[in-house]
Amino acid sequence: MAPFSQAPYDPISIACRWGIPVPTEAELLKRITFDPRIYGGKPIIRGRRMAVEHVLGMLAAGSSREEILADFEWMEIADIDACLLYACKLVANEHVEEVPSERPAAE
């Protein structure tokens, strides 16, 4: 019998096949905002008190996306994808445009 030759799991292809809209890189990166009143202006998710580094730390510690989403009900899967994309671009030394937060700092 020939070895298994099917391509690895690809969530983008599956989403497209089912007609699920897939956000563009630009749409994902709009989720990463900056507010000097929150964490000293570090990158945060949609103006909330959740820094990109916190999400990356949870993933690095072994938390699954599902566990993170269960712990933070306001968070969406696209927020996690945005954190990963932001980190990828930062490590690749690409320029990422800062998007100011539009949310009040009280949250």
Asked if 30 and 99 touch (Cβ cutoff 8 Å), the reply is yes
| E runs forming strands in 16-65 | 32-34, 43-45
**What pLDDT, on the 0 to 100 scale, is given for residue 17?**
72
**What pLDDT, on the 0 to 100 scale, is given for residue 11?**
60
Question: Where exactly are the structural domains of the chain?
Answer: 11-91
**What pLDDT, on the 0 to 100 scale, is given for residue 94?**
67
CATH fold group of domain 11-91: Arc Repressor Mutant, subunit A (1.10.10)
**What pLDDT, on the 0 to 100 scale, is given for residue 59?**
96
Ramachandran angles phi, psi of 89, nearest 5° = -70, -35
**What pLDDT, on the 0 to 100 scale, is given for residue 23?**
87
Residues of the chain with pLDDT under 50: 1-7
Question: What does the alpha-carbon distance between residue 5 and residue 78 come to, in Å, rounded to a whole number?
Answer: 30
